[in-house]
Chains A and B, each alone.
Chain A
Amino acid sequence: MIRKSGCRFSEKIMLKQRDRAMDLSIRNVRKEFDRFAALDDVSLDIRSGELIALLGPSGSGKTTLLRLIAGLDHPTGGQIFFGGEDASVKTVQERNIGFVFQSYALFRHMNVLDNIGFGLSVRRGADRMAKAEIARRATELLDLVQLSGLERRYPHQLSGGQRQRVALARAMAIEPSVLLLDEPFGALDAKVRRDLRSWLREIHDATGHTTVFVTHDQDEALELADRVVVMNEGRIEQIGTADDVYDTPNSPFVFGFIGESSSLPIHVEAGQLWFEDRPLGLPAGDAPDGKALLYFRPQEVKLLDGCGGCIAGTVAAGRRVAGTRRLELEVGGHRERVEIEVPASHPAAARSRIAFRPEKWRLFGTPGEAAPSEKVRRISGWPAAVQAGEGSSAARR
């Protein structure tokens, strides 16, 4: 359905965009709705031409942030800069932002071509464009989003994926300095999502827009974006490449939200990690003594035969996941549940005992122990190499 060819885009569109793309700087922005802080002290620098994903659960403030950038809402505090210029003095119309709404928000009484050309047709004065020129540009964009032939259709005659692409073409028609997409593929089925995903990356690479897109789908964010901004409860948890946020998550939230994870309450004592009264055989580095949470990924564990420093548990449930097997183990006196991955051939009988040790892990402070304002936050002051065990602990010693 979507032809894969990156070279169909008019040179003109591409060059113009590269000139217009713009740095974006968000500084300490706060947004309150009736005293409720939807965004709290958000700072983010976006480089010209970058493709950024805002990733977070529903209600984490992603849409709110996009709307502030577009000027559809105004921040309660903080500032937004477009290429060094304070945006607060600019109206929505002046910001020249391409916004693709989650609901598409197409003009239902206009056909596809008129929808795409709308932004050009409302220009007045020196920027005014001739009808023929508008139609030509709109046709060109329609070709870019691969909908040629549907010029005369009305929005209600299009599928969800087609509407999505019309909305994108409409936003790109005004040669925006920043392109904002709110859950661009949210309402589409899985197959169409995957197609559009790679297609969006191609378009971005070809046109060079500074692009911010919102998603709650981690695969989408990790696959598509140059950098991922992980948001939670109105705050930015972490900003980084796909590798950064997956391999070195800096908070329990990020660890839990991106990829799969298991966690265990442990304590640090005498330079060792302890689960209940057993040592795990993992060095604590210079983590302070006391309670902590151990996070690891089910894939990153090593099965052990004996247990002279390990986590041991009883198999509570097992399921086959593609080429491997996932086991749920009950460990310790409180029957804490953790998940680990074993080879598909592993004879994991129910109620049998299994011992393992995480090969990579991170420690975070527990909610009760951390400073009240910080809640579940990273224990600060630990060098990264210590909080994250890399490779086997034996090799590190």
Chain B
Amino acid sequence: MATALAHAGWRFRRPSVIPGFGLTFGFSIAYLSLIVLIPLAGVVWRSASLGWPEFWRIASDPRTLGALKMSFGGALAAALVNIVFGTLVAWVLVRYRFPGKRIVDAMVDLPFALPTAVAGIALTTLYAPNGWIGGLLAPLGIKVAYTPLGIIVAMVFIGLPFVVRTVQPVMEEIDREVEEAAATLGARRAQTVRRVILPGLAPAILTGFALAFARAVGEYGSVIFIAGNIPYVSEIAPLLIVIRLEEYNYAAATAIATVMLAISFAMLFVINLIQAWSRRRYGYGH
């Protein structure tokens, strides 16, 4: 096996002088297998027992497709919103001093800590047509709760801390002098932000994006309260899986789960590749 790999041109990263590579590597693989790989393999295995035609029928069912589109599309939109505003929040927290800063900083973590059902109920109350915010939006003809928009709002809520907390430490590390160098070279503030600061933050923002996206795809608790859960319109894939389970249709549930798994893994893998590439190119982590 090892020689076959070597012949195929593969190389393990050369173990460093720090001892214990064999032990820690072996442990990591065993641990990941136990915690991640085996349960997921079970899902795939279970759906494989369906046979290809049956699997394809379930996967291409309009209701399944609608739910997948809602989940991934919503998560994508939410993650995009989050990297913009998450980066902004991180900027404010890192760069400015203002009264109550500690409180704002702590508030960012609330979506982490809150039981998702609580968040769902709170958001629904706010955004329902008779709620505080929903009531303001209703005359404008904008409906949030019980629509896809509501789902995105919930996904934005739970994803925010991921972006803030990944970008914040990197932003704190930004060398003041690099910004000053840009200014002495004649760059105005906006140019410095766009051409010097943001590219430096890009890897962290991408990580935040990946985390917020992954979290939103898997989110269940807070979304189902605000979604309205109308099949073909505002039904998320995790909910559809639960519905199938409640119908004792385990095969269909695992088939949908497998499709989600494949898409999620592919997206995260691509993001990881981009990360590795930028790290090599710009020497981050050196």
Within 8 A of A (CB), among B189-212: 191, 195-196, 199-200, 202
- Tell yes or no: B22 within 8 A of A by CB: no
Within 8 A of A (CB), among B68-106: none
- Return the CB mask of A39-64 against B: 1 if under 8 Å, else 0: 00000000000000000000000000
Task: Specify which chain A residues have a CB less than 8 angstroms from the CB of B202 in the assembled complex.
Answer: 109
- Tell yes or no: B30 within 8 A of A by CB: no
CB <8 Å contact, A154 and B186: no
Closest B residue by C-beta to A67: B180
Q: A108-B200, A154-B282, A154-B283 are in contact. Are A122 and B195 (CB under 8 A)?
A: yes
- Tell yes or no: A351 within 8 A of B by CB: no
Task: Specify which chain B residues have a CB less than 8 angstroms from the CB of A101 in the assembled complex.
Answer: 177, 180-181
CB <8 Å contact, A92 and B184: yes
Within 8 A of B (CB), among A98-138: 98-99, 101, 103, 105-110, 118-119, 122-123
- Tell yes or no: A157 within 8 A of B by CB: yes
Within 8 A of B (CB), among A167-212: 170-171, 173-174
- Tell yes or no: A93 within 8 A of B by CB: yes
- Tell yes or no: B188 within 8 A of A by CB: yes
CB <8 Å contact, B282 and A92: no
- How close is B131's CB to chain A, nearest CB, in angstroms? 44
Bound complex: CA A97 to CA B184 (Å): 6
Bound complex: CA A92 to CA B196 (Å): 17
Partner of A93, one of B183, B195, B283: B183
- Tell yes or no: A4 within 8 A of B by CB: no
Closest B residue by C-beta to A92: B183
CB <8 Å contact, A70 and B184: yes
CB <8 Å contact, A93 and B282: no
- How close is A311's CB to chain B, nearest CB, in angstroms? 50
- How close is A128's CB to chain B, nearest CB, in angstroms? 12
- Tell yes or no: A72 within 8 A of B by CB: yes
Most chain A C-beta atoms within 10 Å of own C-beta, residue among B183, B187, B199, B200: B183
Closest B residue by C-beta to A176: B184
Most chain B C-beta atoms within 10 Å of own C-beta, residue among A92, A106, A155, A170: A92
CB <8 Å contact, B184 and A118: no
- How close is A96's CB to chain B, nearest CB, in angstroms? 7
Bound complex: CA A156 to CA B284 (Å): 9
- How close is A116's CB to chain B, nearest CB, in angstroms? 10
Task: Specify which chain A residues have a CB less than 8 angstroms from the CB of B185 in the assembled complex.
Answer: 118-119, 122, 170-171, 173-174
Closest B residue by C-beta to A99: B184
CB <8 Å contact, B186 and A174: yes
- How close is B179's CB to chain A, nearest CB, in angstroms? 9
Interface size on B, residues (CB 8 A): 23
Closest A residue by C-beta to B189: A93
Closest A residue by C-beta to B175: A105
Task: Specify which chain A residues have a CB less than 8 angstroms from the CB of B182 in the assembled complex.
Answer: 107, 118, 122
Bound complex: CA A103 to CA B175 (Å): 9
CB <8 Å contact, B177 and A122: no
- Tell yes or no: B178 within 8 A of A by CB: yes
Partner of B177, one of A93, A103, A157: A103
Bin the interface of chain A by size: 20 to 34
Partner of B199, one of A103, A109, A157: A109
Q: A109-B199, A156-B283, A157-B283 are in contact. Are A93 and B180 (CB under 8 A)?
A: no
- Return the CB mask of A257-281 against B: 1 if under 8 Å, else 0: 0000000000000000000000000
Q: A101-B177, A105-B178, A107-B178 are in contact. Are A72 and B187 (CB under 8 A)?
A: no
CB <8 Å contact, B180 and A122: no
Within 8 A of B (CB), among A142-169: 154-157
Task: Specify which chain A residues have a CB less than 8 angstroms from the CB of B286 in the assembled complex.
Answer: 156
- How close is B164's CB to chain A, nearest CB, in angstroms? 22
CB <8 Å contact, A93 and B187: yes
CB <8 Å contact, A99 and B186: no
Closest A residue by C-beta to B202: A109
CB <8 Å contact, B283 and A122: no
Bound complex: CA A155 to CA B187 (Å): 20
- Tell yes or no: B281 within 8 A of A by CB: yes
Bound complex: CA A387 to CA B236 (Å): 91
- How close is A393's CB to chain B, nearest CB, in angstroms? 53
Task: Specify which chain B residues have a CB less than 8 angstroms from the CB of A99 in the assembled complex.
Answer: 180-181, 184
CB <8 Å contact, A122 and B187: yes
Task: Specify which chain B residues have a CB less than 8 angstroms from the CB of A107 in the assembled complex.
Answer: 178, 181-182, 196
- How close is A34's CB to chain B, nearest CB, in angstroms? 15
- Return the CB mask of B274-286 against A: 1 if under 8 Å, else 0: 0000000111101
Task: Specify which chain A residues have a CB less than 8 angstroms from the CB of B178 in the assembled complex.
Answer: 105-107
Bound complex: CA A101 to CA B175 (Å): 11
- How close is A169's CB to chain B, nearest CB, in angstroms? 12
Q: A72-B180, A103-B175 are in contact. Are A108 and B282 (CB under 8 A)?
A: yes
Closest A residue by C-beta to B283: A156
Task: Specify which chain B residues have a CB less than 8 angstroms from the CB of A97 in the assembled complex.
Answer: 184
Q: A101-B177, A154-B282 are in contact. Are A122 and B191 (CB under 8 A)?
A: yes
Within 8 A of B (CB), among A207-262: none
Bound complex: CA A378 to CA B274 (Å): 65
Task: Specify which chain B residues have a CB less than 8 angstroms from the CB of A157 in the assembled complex.
Answer: 283
CB <8 Å contact, A118 and B177: no
**What would 7 more interface pairs be, CB under 8 Å, given A92-B180, A118-B185, A119-B186?**
A72-B180, A93-B186, A96-B186, A101-B180, A108-B200, A157-B283, A171-B185
Q: Can you identify 17 A-B contacts, CB atoms within 8 angstroms?
A: A70-B184, A72-B180, A93-B188, A96-B186, A98-B184, A99-B181, A101-B180, A103-B177, A105-B175, A106-B181, A118-B182, A118-B187, A119-B185, A154-B283, A170-B181, A171-B184, A174-B186
Chain B interface (Cβ within 8 Å of chain A)? 175, 177-178, 180-188, 191, 195-196, 199-200, 202, 281-284, 286
Top 4 nearest A-B pairs (CB, nearest first) are A156-B283, A119-B185, A105-B177, A105-B181
